[in-house]
Amino acid sequence: MSFHDELEEWEKFLDKENCPICNEESPPEDEIIVAEFDKSWLLAYPEVCLKGTCCLALKPHAVEIYDISDSDLMQFMREVKIASKALKEVTKAIKINYEIHGNTIPHLHMHLFPRYVDDPFPDGAIDYNKVEPAVYKDNEFEEFVEELRKKINEYEWPS
Ligand SMILES: [Zn+2]
């Protein structure tokens, strides 16, 4: 679902009181909290289009970048630094892609996509709905989450 087909529903989510993230309403069953930072949570999911795909969900309710206070935004970007650096090291990706959409849930969150030389989207945008065939085999997902946690804990980040 997106605001294109369910505008009324999406508009309800704009208010903090109805926001599914602020109210911790039905996160996907397979969602794993990799790390909790001062201003965000780093989340990972086993069914993704690129190995190592993560999401940083901002803790304060905000929809657009300009809704975030300067100090919160600076801290959030520091957390993006930590998360993306750890992600690049753990996945050995060539490049991390950063995407902010909010067309399904408007509460601000940033997708982190590791890109690889042989990934399935060489010439265009990432199709995040393409989750088949599965990118993780056996317990690769659990191992990835553990490695990412370990790497993040090695860093010291400003609070
Ligand atoms: Zn919210």
Distance between CA atoms of 52 and 44, rounded to whole angstroms? 8
Distance 41 CA to ligand 1 centre (A): 13
C-alpha 39 – ligand 1 centre gap (Å): 13
Do residues 106 and 10 lie in contact, with contact meaning Cβ atoms separated by under 8 Å? yes
In this prediction the pTM is 0.94
Alpha helices per DSSP H over 64-158: 70-91, 140-154
Q: Is the pLDDT of residue 159 over 60?
A: no
Flag whether pLDDT at 156 surpasses 90.
no
Using the mean position of ligand 1's atoms as its centre, give its distance from the Cα of residue 64 in Å: 11
Residues within 5 A (CB) of ion ligand 1: 19, 21-22, 61, 107
157 pLDDT higher than 80: no
Q: Which of 135, 136, 155, 143 is nearest to 83 (CA)?
A: 155
Ligand 1 centroid–CA 57 distance in Å is 9
Which domains can be identified in the chain, with CATH numbers? 7-116+129-154 (3.30.428.10)
116-134 residue pLDDT tens: 999 999 988 899 999 999 9
How far is the centre of ligand 1, averaged over its atoms, from the C-alpha of 21 (Å)? 5
Burial class, 68, CB count within 10 angstroms (exposed 0-12 / middle 13-18 / buried 19+): buried
How far does the centroid of ligand 1 lie from the alpha carbon of residue 22, in Å?
4
Q: What is the pLDDT of residue 38?
A: 96
Instruction: Summarize pLDDT for 75-115 with one digit per residue, the tens.
Output: 999 999 999 999 999 999 999 999 999 999 999 999 999 99
